[in-house]
């Protein structure tokens, strides 16, 4: 399906030979990616996938170093009545990942159209690297840039940086998906895992068409993480001035599910908290103990699907955290939900240091309905250094705010 206006739309971005660091024009150049609202052209990856569902495609993307680029992706539609419009979701993988067909199928099975994009010029076939002798994802002939370290290419012109292309491909995938006649363009969301969660955190402040966003693990304020991100980013002006997601969280007004776990070694609880406190729209936090870090947990847990469906069906998140605090030694959290909340847990630690390396202790606690709200409370154990409260409904985990001390 060739869109005549797409080449014209791309030409708007060709003049973006912007200063590398620190100027207002730099941030304007990033926000300009939100104007990529024309559906890109896309092509079957091979003749064998032309009529399959899901099918592998190549999606036209922004030029890189003067060369044409395309993004490999899996695109799938659910089985529904022909006249029925369906919701959709854009899926972005994390480090070491690619476009995953099974991730698309998971959403298709739940009634969503889905597109899973590969943002480093790769397909989903592995080959042996002759230098490292390791198995790596094979590159296709229209590949753009690949990720180099942790924002290690911010010394390059903006339009040649990997994150510029990862963000633009995510926005273009949104434009492609919502252009399909089977898809309800008002009901397309975004989900990204790990590095995909970082990309999603950036995109939510640029592309305001998304009906919901689900960053898994990833968030903003990476320079404050206290792990491998901090030395790489603390003095990286390109990241701090341009790609820090927190610059644009006040523009993110769609519902957001911050989906992670307290033992994550990449994204500590403090910067996750700072991220969900900074976004302008309604948000839900789900911190699932022992969830683990990886692509599998991102789609095997039920929270993302339930969040998306209920936001699209009702226009609001299904369980709202109200307030949580420590009063006279008693930790409490209040929630508001139309669903029955079945149980509650206090998750706390007495350790210090990086949150992903602490031992987190789970304690079943009291949960009671009070008028139209739910109250979970329990005495906070002596020596507690951090805590939060989880409630559950039908196996879905919802968390209170995260607290130090």
> SS3 for 74?
strand
Do 362 and 227 lie in a common domain? no
- Are 134 and 102 within one domain? yes
How far apart CA 367 and CA 155 sit, in angstroms, is: 53
- Whether residues 299 and 356 share a domain: the answer is no
**What Å distances lie between residue 169 and 16, 59, 69, 147, 251, CA to CA?**
17, 8, 10, 14, 20
Q: CA–CA separation, 371 vs 378, rounded Å?
A: 20
pLDDT at 58: 98
pLDDT of residue 5: 45
Whether residue 54 is found in the same domain as residue 167: yes
170 and 85 share a domain?
yes
What pLDDT is attached to residue 13?
A: 54
95 and 221 inside one domain: yes
Domain edge (last residue) among 291, 317, 343: 317
Confidence (pLDDT) at 1 = 40
Q: Classify the phi-psi angles of 216: left when phi > 0, otherwise alpha if psi is within -120 to 50, otherwise beta.
A: beta
Total domains present in the chain: 2
Q: Which residues of the chain have pLDDT under 50?
A: 1-5, 7-8, 11, 14-21
The answer to whether residues 153 and 225 belong to one domain is yes
- The pTM (predicted TM-score) of the whole model is 0.94
End residue of a domain, out of 287, 302, 317: 317
47-77: per-residue pLDDT in tens?
Answer: 666 678 999 999 999 999 999 999 999 999 9
Residues 220 and 84 in one domain: yes
- Among 249, 282, 317, the domain-final residue is 317
Average pLDDT, the chain: 93
Residues in the chain: 405
- Determine the pLDDT at residue 23: 59
> What CATH number did the domain enclosing 392 receive?
2.60.40.10
Give the residue among 267, 221, 255 at the shortest CA–CA distance from 94: 267
Q: How far apart are CA 152 and CA 139, in angstroms?
A: 21
pLDDT of residue 25: 73
Residue 290 sits in the same domain as residue 350? no
Q: Tell me what pLDDT residue 8 has.
A: 45
The CATH number given to whatever domain includes residue 270 is 3.40.50.1820
Answer yes or no: are the C-beta atoms of 84 and 107 closer than 8 Å. Answer: no
Same domain, 32 and 154: yes
pLDDT of residue 47: 64
Clarify whether residues 65 and 141 are in a common domain: yes
Using DSSP, state whether 352 is helix, strand or coil: coil
Report the candidate in 198, 180, 214, 1 with the shortest Cα–Cα distance to residue 90.
214
pLDDT for position 81:
77
- 238: containing domain: 4-317
How far, in Å, CA of 387 to CA of 269, rounded?
A: 10
Task: Provide the pLDDT for residue 12.
Answer: 52
Do 172 and 278 fall into the same domain?
yes
Supply the DSSP string of 280-335, one letter for each residue: SS-EEEEE-TT--SSHHHHHHSSHHHHHHHHHHHHSS-SEEEEEEEEETTEEEEEE
């Amino acid at each position: 399906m060739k869109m005549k206006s797409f080449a014209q739309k791309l030409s708007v971005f060709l003049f973006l030979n912007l200063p590398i660091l620190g100027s207002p024009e730099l941030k304007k150049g990033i926000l300009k990616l939100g104007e990529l609202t024309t559906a890109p052209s896309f092509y079957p990856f091979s003749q064998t996938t032309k009529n399959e569902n899901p099918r592998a495609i190549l999606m036209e993307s922004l030029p890189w170093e003067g060369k044409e680029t395309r993004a490999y992706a899996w695109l799938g539609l659910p089985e529904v009545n022909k006249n029925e419009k369906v919701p959709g979701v854009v899926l972005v993988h994390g480090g070491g990942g690619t476009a995953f067909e099974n991730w698309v199928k998971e959403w298709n099975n739940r009634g969503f159209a889905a597109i899973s994009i590969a943002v480093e010029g790769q397909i989903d076939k592995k080959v042996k690297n002759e230098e490292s002798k390791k198995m790596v994802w094979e590159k296709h002939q229209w590949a753009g840039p690949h990720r180099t370290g942790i924002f290690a290419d911010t010394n390059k012109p903006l339009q040649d940086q990997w994150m510029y292309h990862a963000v633009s491909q995510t926005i273009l995938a949104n434009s492609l998906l919502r252009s399909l006649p089977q898809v309800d363009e008002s009901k397309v969301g975004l989900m990204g895992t790990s590095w995909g969660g970082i990309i999603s955190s950036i995109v939510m402040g640029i592309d305001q068409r998304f009906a919901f966003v689900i960053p898994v693990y990833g968030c903003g304020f990476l320079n404050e993480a206290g792990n491998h991100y901090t030395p790489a980013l603390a003095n990286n002006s390109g990241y701090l001035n341009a790609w820090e997601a927190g610059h644009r969280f006040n523009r993110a007004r769609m519902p957001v599910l911050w989906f992670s776990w307290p033992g994550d070694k990449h994204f500590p609880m403090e910067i996750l908290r700072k991220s969900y406190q900074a976004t302008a729209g309604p948000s839900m936090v789900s911190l699932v103990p022992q969830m683990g870090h990886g692509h599998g947990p991102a789609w095997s847990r039920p929270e993302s699907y339930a969040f998306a469906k209920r936001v699209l069906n009702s226009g609001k998140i299904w369980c709202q955290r109200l307030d949580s605090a420590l009063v006279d030694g008693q930790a409490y959290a209040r929630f508001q939900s139309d669903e029955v909340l079945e149980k509650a847990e206090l998750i706390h630690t007495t350790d210090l240091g990086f949150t992903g390396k602490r031992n987190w202790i789970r304690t079943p606690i009291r949960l009671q309905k009070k008028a139209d709200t739910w109250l979970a409370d329990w005495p906070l154990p002596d020596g507690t250094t951090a805590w939060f409260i989880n409630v559950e409904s039908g196996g879905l985990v919802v968390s209170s705010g995260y607290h130090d001390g």
